[in-house]
A and B are shown apart, each in its own frame.
Chain A
Amino acid sequence: MAKEKNHIGGSWEDLAVPEYFPEPYTEERAEEEEEDTEEAARDGAVKCSPTLLRMLKAAESRWTPRDRDKAEPSKLGRKVSEAEALKTNMKIQLNDQQEEFNKLPTKAGPRPLSHSVSQSSADSFSSVGSVSSEDESPPQKKLQKTSKGLTDFCIKNIKQAAFGRKEIDIAQQEMPALMILRKRAGGEKPLAGAKVAGCTHITAHTAVLIETLAALGAQCRWAACNIFSTQNSVAAALAEGGISVFAWKGESEDDFLWCIDRCVAADSWEPNLILDDGGDLTQWMYKKYPSLFKKLKGIVEESVTGIYRLYQLSKAGKLCAPAMNVNDSVTKQKFDSIYCCKESILDGLKRTTDVMFGGKQVVVCGYGEVGKGCCAALKGLGAVIYVTEVDPICALQACMDGLRVVTLSEVIRHADLVITCTGNKDVVTREHFDRMRSGCIVCNMGHSNTEIDLASLRTSELKWHRVRPQVDHIIWPDGKRVVLLAEGRLLNLSCSTVPSFVLSVTAATQALALIELYNAPAGRYKQDVYLLPKKMDEYVASLHLPMFDAHVTELTDEQAQYLSISKHGPFKPNYYRY
């Protein structure tokens, strides 16, 4: 049966491959699976795939007592962060704008090709502010030293380390999966000898990831992938903990590249793994240090943009190390789109407009993962939902889920709320706007800021009126108002927070991808872009189950034999759709 599955997978991949998404990993996936089955036993025996039972036990013992301790600090933390979130909307927006501006020159090209934006990649920063010091001298110029005498780092102010440590401690509570992973690996060091150069947002959550990698035996050097997202205190705490961090909030473009360069080019330290978010670090190494680039054991890339770059490199035959696309792993995808959006659509709308959903007529444009999440959430609150869709299969799914499939023009006159999540552009046009009824709320959950045709609203006869941060009233000459949220940018990024659970899924996926690449026997991965093996994907999921107190059933030997799968997974063929 296992072989038969392979075969189905194989011939499926043989079919028309969409032009806009490079294909290379397809064959490799099949190969990969074959190899996986061969090596399943080995995997089971060595590092990161213990029996589920053992892992669960470890998880339970770790989690139960901690849960009790946690109650107080987390309550406190939540209050603070909620209060802050409202206050800081303005600031967040500013960051966001600047970030977009700053990113555009490098990323304008690939962007349109990315269908989904990774929540955790694009915006881990928006949920966490950072206290900045008054000291305004550039960090490069300062002489910095940790209490242990380490000077190989560059951050804003090492004195904030104690504060940052607290932040990290809180984050650790929210990312039990990584803590379980640390505990599990315990004595073994699956990353011993690994030298990881990282470029991600530097927040308390990534700090937990970095320290996990360190705990698993890796040596890490880290830079920020975004000039505004760094939490200075966290960077300080990392440096104090002995990790070479080069990052501070409010870097200039020059600083940004300087940090990356310092990260890669260290005396007597050559990175053999890259953990990247956005592809900047990879790009830099490829351009500036081709000799180092050739020696890499692997690249783990998280963002859609970075993956696109990798596929281009791979197509051009210039990728000389295996790369792992963690963005498209099942678990991460589901959490980034369906589960995350299911929650943030309500959160975002409530925070900005205090709208009540019961009985409201809502149009959701697009019924992909994000659309499915939004619809499910709104339906739960009693809204009347219409769906627009271009893909007949998704349209049929919407029908079977009890939603009316319409074209936007049909219902635009009675819609109270229009939500776009198509990944397309100009889904809501000026013409639609003109026909909306007064008070209609328009927002975007899909992709950057192209879905709503904003440019067409910047005309002289329409008055824009900002009523609160992220909320604009656009007033027609006849007095009609349309409520536009976040100026058409992503609502879930601008007006709500990314749950730390989602960040935890991402971080765990990255850590496992690094472990997989580093420990893979020579030849399993060639110089190409791969998806995370299903087994690792399943492992990420299993690391998160203790949070739900969920108890996974274990197959008996007999049952496993009957299904002809291994007791420890992978449980599904590659083409399984979940």
Chain B
Amino acid sequence: MSETAGDAKSEVKQASKEVKESENVAEKYSAMTVSRNSEINMGELSSVFSAVPTHKPVKKQIQFVEEKQEFSRFPTKTGRRSLSRSISQSSTDSYCSAASYTDSSDDETSPRDKTQVNSKGSSDFCVKNIKQAEFGRREIEIAEQDMSALISLRKRAQSEKPLAGAKIVGCTHITAQTAVLIETLVALGAQCRWTACNIYSTQNEVAAALAERGVAAFAWKGESEDDFWWCIDRCVNTEGWQPNMILDDGGDLTHWVYKKYPNVFKKIRGIVEESVTGVHRLYQLSKAGKLCVPAMNVNDSVTKQKFDNLYCCRESILDGLKRTTDVMFGGKQVVVCGYGEVGKGCSAALKALGAVVYVTEIDPICALQACMDGFRVVKLNEVIRLVDVIITCTGNKNVVTREQLDRMKNGCIVCNMGHSNTEIDVASLRTPELTWERVRSQVDHVIWPDGKRVILLAEGRLLNLSCSTVPTFVLSITATTQALALIELYNAPEGRYKQDVYLLPKKMDEYVASLHLATFDAHLTELTDEQAKYLGLNKNGPFKPNYYRY
């Protein structure tokens, strides 16, 4: 494990330097190739691909990291994966947008073995290299620009210190964006100890900057499985400091505290969990009657759900397809399998670019919605011969089967926006008569004996995770939701929350949304007293009944 990690790191380091520099260049290139495209022969896709040399290193790095991550996660999470219908964008993948590119020193000794002291003399942290703090600070400042919601939360609540006395242990991706969250919590009065929820996602310089500011951060990029648990343990287990809140992403920290420190666990005032996996674990605990503290499921809040699925996918489907294939959408026949939130987003985006969109659905209500939105609802088999692009977002398995792949026309693009890698039956394509040809990272041509090619993206894994980035705005929504959930749990009067898993109250959800309105320069109308009375509402919300569907 540690060996491969080492290998990966050096490669990552090299490649990641190119990321920042070449990203723009690459975009320019791809823009150029599109225009060149029209002069060349549209049929010869491979010649177009070779015209974009700068893409390769960039993509390779991202892909590499992700594969490793999946590998390292599997032992602990395979079982539960299949149960999570939707994957939280911000949870699973904040790391892929922000790679750490100042990777430290050639110093290869494990951070665990080093003695580290920040400029104020504190040594209660463990990061790769504390000297990178200044650089990380700049990263955090950049992130602050895009996360104005948290900054305005700081301003609004700074005087009250709603988290005064809160001792929060956190386990999330450690990136510039989460750093903004952590420092917001500190500004609101909390004491924080933090660790990484993923062994590859940590931005070392950000961790250093946090440590420099006095947050006890235990994380570095490329931890081993052993390091990972050691960090979590150091986070929880300190003298004279007992956590009373948990902020978790993935449930590992909660699990650790529950198993190893049952006494600490009992005294926790609340758990905030972000990921689908973690939420599932909490529900299991709660069902077994072993959850002795209230927990908040922030994954299913209205705002976060809409941003993770509808809005995020609406953008990333285009981004992902463009980056990988440079396809032009106008007039293309696209079939979108599934018309849930993700499907709605994809269909809307593609329709806007002039694609002819077909929808397949199993749920008659969603099917009727698709009809009313002007999409043809068909079965995949009816249109499989005609379509140029197939996008799966059902959350189901084997939606596109070998039989259907056999009937596709030459050049059809197949990708998955839905759920892990089950939707496309990729295994059935690994047969000797089919030739696989990797034309660039994340793009495979599968070639039939008769010369037909099908273009498979990201090997059937999630396109939006593999081939596009998560916008900071989405991360900001998540971070704000987490912060508010912590405040709510910490300040709730006794008895409001029992030992169960809760959804974020609608009022908090509305508050998250309202903090983000400033970004759009949106001006909210306020109810007059009279109007509020007429509607039987409080002037400050909640504005909708719980069953409202938005």
B40 proximal to A (CB < 8 A): no
Contact of A424 with B534 at beta-carbon distance under 8 Å, contacts A390-B526, A393-B510, A408-B525 already known:
yes
Query: Which residues from chain B contact A16 at a C-beta distance below 8 Å?
Result: 505-507, 542, 546
Bound state CA distance, A554 and B397, in angstroms?
13
Residue of A nearest to B520 (CB): A399
Count chain B CB atoms within 10 A of each CB in A389, A396, A423, A424 and give the residue with the most: A396
Smallest CB separation, B104 vs chain A (Å): 39
- Which of A15, A331, A391, A548 is within 8 Å of B544, CB to CB? A391
Query: Which residues from chain B contact A261 at a C-beta distance below 8 Å?
Result: none
- Contact across chains for A20 and B536 when beta carbons are under 8 A apart: yes
Smallest CB separation, B340 vs chain A (Å): 8
- Which of A12, A330, A396, A426 is within 8 Å of B517, CB to CB? A396
- Contact across chains for A14 and B500 when beta carbons are under 8 A apart: yes
B460 proximal to A (CB < 8 A): no
Bound state CA distance, A291 and B22, in angstroms?
81
Mind listing 6 A-B residue pairs with CB under 8 Å? A112-B536, A392-B511, A392-B524, A396-B520, A405-B523, A541-B368
Query: Which residues from chain A contact B395 at a C-beta distance below 8 Å?
Result: 563
Bound state CA distance, A94 and B309, in angstroms?
48
Residue of B nearest to A450 (CB): B534
- Which of B368, B396, B397 is within 8 Å of A545, CB to CB? B368
Bound state CA distance, A408 and B524, in angstroms?
10
- Contact across chains for A577 and B283 when beta carbons are under 8 A apart: no
Bound state CA distance, A16 and B547, in angstroms?
11
Contact with B along A272-306 (1 / 0, CB 8 A): 00000000000000000000000000000000000
Query: Which residues from chain B contact A391 at a C-beta distance below 8 Å?
Result: 510, 541, 543-544
Contact of A331 with B546 at beta-carbon distance under 8 Å, contacts A407-B525, A425-B530, A551-B379 already known:
no
Bound state CA distance, A539 and B365, in angstroms?
8
Smallest CB separation, A537 vs chain B (Å): 6
Query: Which residues from chain B contact A423 at a C-beta distance below 8 Å?
Result: 535
B306 proximal to A (CB < 8 A): yes
- Contact across chains for A395 and B369 when beta carbons are under 8 A apart: no
Residue of A nearest to B549 (CB): A577
- Contact across chains for A550 and B500 when beta carbons are under 8 A apart: no
Contact of A424 with B501 at beta-carbon distance under 8 Å, contacts A19-B536, A397-B550, A572-B363 already known:
no
Count chain A CB atoms within 10 A of each CB in B337, B361, B545 and give the residue with the most: B545
A262 proximal to B (CB < 8 A): no
- Which of B503, B505, B506, B517 is within 8 Å of A405, CB to CB? B517
- Contact across chains for B525 and A390 when beta carbons are under 8 A apart: yes
A457 proximal to B (CB < 8 A): no
Contact with B along A9-37 (1 / 0, CB 8 A): 00111111111110000100000000000
Bound state CA distance, A550 and B83, in angstroms?
30
Query: Which residues from chain B contact A456 at a C-beta distance below 8 Å?
Result: none
Smallest CB separation, B528 vs chain A (Å): 7
Smallest CB separation, A414 vs chain B (Å): 15
- Contact across chains for B542 and A545 when beta carbons are under 8 A apart: no
Query: Which residues from chain B contact A242 at a C-beta distance below 8 Å?
Result: none
Smallest CB separation, B449 vs chain A (Å): 28
Bound state CA distance, A541 and B368, in angstroms?
6
Bound state CA distance, A21 and B542, in angstroms?
12
B531 proximal to A (CB < 8 A): yes
B509 proximal to A (CB < 8 A): yes
Residue of B nearest to A550 (CB): B377
- Which of B300, B364, B382 is within 8 Å of A542, CB to CB? B364
The range of chain B's interface size is: 35 or more
Top 6 closest A-B pairs, CB basis? A405-B522, A392-B514, A550-B377, A20-B536, A542-B364, A392-B513
Query: Which residues from chain B contact A393 at a C-beta distance below 8 Å?
Result: 302-303, 509-510, 513, 543-544, 550
A41 proximal to B (CB < 8 A): no
Bound state CA distance, A537 and B535, in angstroms?
28
A328 proximal to B (CB < 8 A): yes
- Contact across chains for B280 and A4 when beta carbons are under 8 A apart: yes
Query: Which residues from chain B contact A410 at a C-beta distance below 8 Å?
Result: 523
A552 proximal to B (CB < 8 A): yes
B366 proximal to A (CB < 8 A): yes
The range of chain A's interface size is: 35 or more
Give me 8 other A-B pairs in contact (C-beta within 8 A), A396-B522, A425-B534 excluded: A16-B506, A389-B524, A392-B541, A424-B535, A552-B367, A554-B362, A556-B398, A578-B365
Contact with A along B86-99 (1 / 0, CB 8 A): 00000000000000
Query: Which residues from chain A contact B397 at a C-beta distance below 8 Å?
Result: 558-559, 562
Count chain B CB atoms within 10 A of each CB in A11, A115, A427, A537 and give the residue with the most: A11
B360 proximal to A (CB < 8 A): yes
Smallest CB separation, B455 vs chain A (Å): 23
Contact of A553 with B360 at beta-carbon distance under 8 Å, contacts A391-B541, A394-B550, A407-B523 already known:
yes
- Contact across chains for B500 and A11 when beta carbons are under 8 A apart: yes
Query: Which residues from chain B contact A11 at a C-beta distance below 8 Å?
Result: 500-503
- Contact across chains for A545 and B364 when beta carbons are under 8 A apart: yes
- Contact across chains for A552 and B361 when beta carbons are under 8 A apart: yes
- Contact across chains for A8 and B503 when beta carbons are under 8 A apart: yes
B372 proximal to A (CB < 8 A): yes
Contact of A399 with B536 at beta-carbon distance under 8 Å, contacts A7-B283, A18-B545, A426-B531 already known:
no
Query: Which residues from chain A contact B361 at a C-beta distance below 8 Å?
Result: 552-553
- Contact across chains for A52 and B550 when beta carbons are under 8 A apart: no
A400 proximal to B (CB < 8 A): yes
Contact with B along A70-96 (1 / 0, CB 8 A): 000000000000000000000000000
Smallest CB separation, A222 vs chain B (Å): 29
Query: Which residues from chain A contact B305 at a C-beta distance below 8 Å?
Result: 577
Query: Which residues from chain A contact B371 at a C-beta distance below 8 Å?
Result: 545, 548, 550
Bound state CA distance, A554 and B369, in angstroms?
17
- Which of A13, A19, A404, A550 is within 8 Å of B367, CB to CB? A550
B527 proximal to A (CB < 8 A): yes
- Contact across chains for A8 and B300 when beta carbons are under 8 A apart: yes
B297 proximal to A (CB < 8 A): yes
B376 proximal to A (CB < 8 A): yes
B537 proximal to A (CB < 8 A): yes
Query: Which residues from chain A contact B500 at a C-beta distance below 8 Å?
Result: 11, 14
Bound state CA distance, A550 and B365, in angstroms?
12
Residue of B nearest to A411 (CB): B523
Bound state CA distance, A328 and B545, in angstroms?
12
A555 proximal to B (CB < 8 A): yes
Bound state CA distance, A424 and B360, in angstroms?
39
Count chain A CB atoms within 10 A of each CB in B302, B397, B535, B536 and give the residue with the most: B535
- Contact across chains for A12 and B503 when beta carbons are under 8 A apart: yes
- Contact across chains for B522 and A395 when beta carbons are under 8 A apart: yes
- Contact across chains for A538 and B365 when beta carbons are under 8 A apart: yes
Query: Which residues from chain B contact A405 at a C-beta distance below 8 Å?
Result: 517, 520, 522-524
Contact with B along A546-578 (1 / 0, CB 8 A): 001011111110110011000001011001011
Query: Which residues from chain A contact B303 at a C-beta distance below 8 Å?
Result: 393, 396
Contact of A20 with B83 at beta-carbon distance under 8 Å, contacts A8-B503, A548-B377 already known:
no
Query: Which residues from chain A contact B511 at a C-beta distance below 8 Å?
Result: 392
Bound state CA distance, A392 and B544, in angstroms?
11
- Contact across chains for B396 and A555 when beta carbons are under 8 A apart: yes
- Contact across chains for B543 and A15 when beta carbons are under 8 A apart: no
Contact of A330 with B365 at beta-carbon distance under 8 Å, contacts A14-B500, A405-B517 already known:
yes
B287 proximal to A (CB < 8 A): yes
A334 proximal to B (CB < 8 A): yes
A314 proximal to B (CB < 8 A): no
Contact of A8 with B365 at beta-carbon distance under 8 Å, contacts A339-B372, A391-B543, A550-B377 already known:
no
A406 proximal to B (CB < 8 A): yes
Query: Which residues from chain B contact A578 at a C-beta distance below 8 Å?
Result: 365-366, 369, 549
B380 proximal to A (CB < 8 A): yes
Bound state CA distance, A399 and B545, in angstroms?
22
Query: Which residues from chain A contact B502 at a C-beta distance below 8 Å?
Result: 11, 14-15
A522 proximal to B (CB < 8 A): no
Bound state CA distance, A538 and B364, in angstroms?
6
Q: Which of A376-428 contact B (CB under 8 A)?
A: 388-400, 404-408, 410, 423-427
Bound state CA distance, A404 and B520, in angstroms?
8
Bound state CA distance, A425 and B422, in angstroms?
51
- Contact across chains for A551 and B517 when beta carbons are under 8 A apart: no
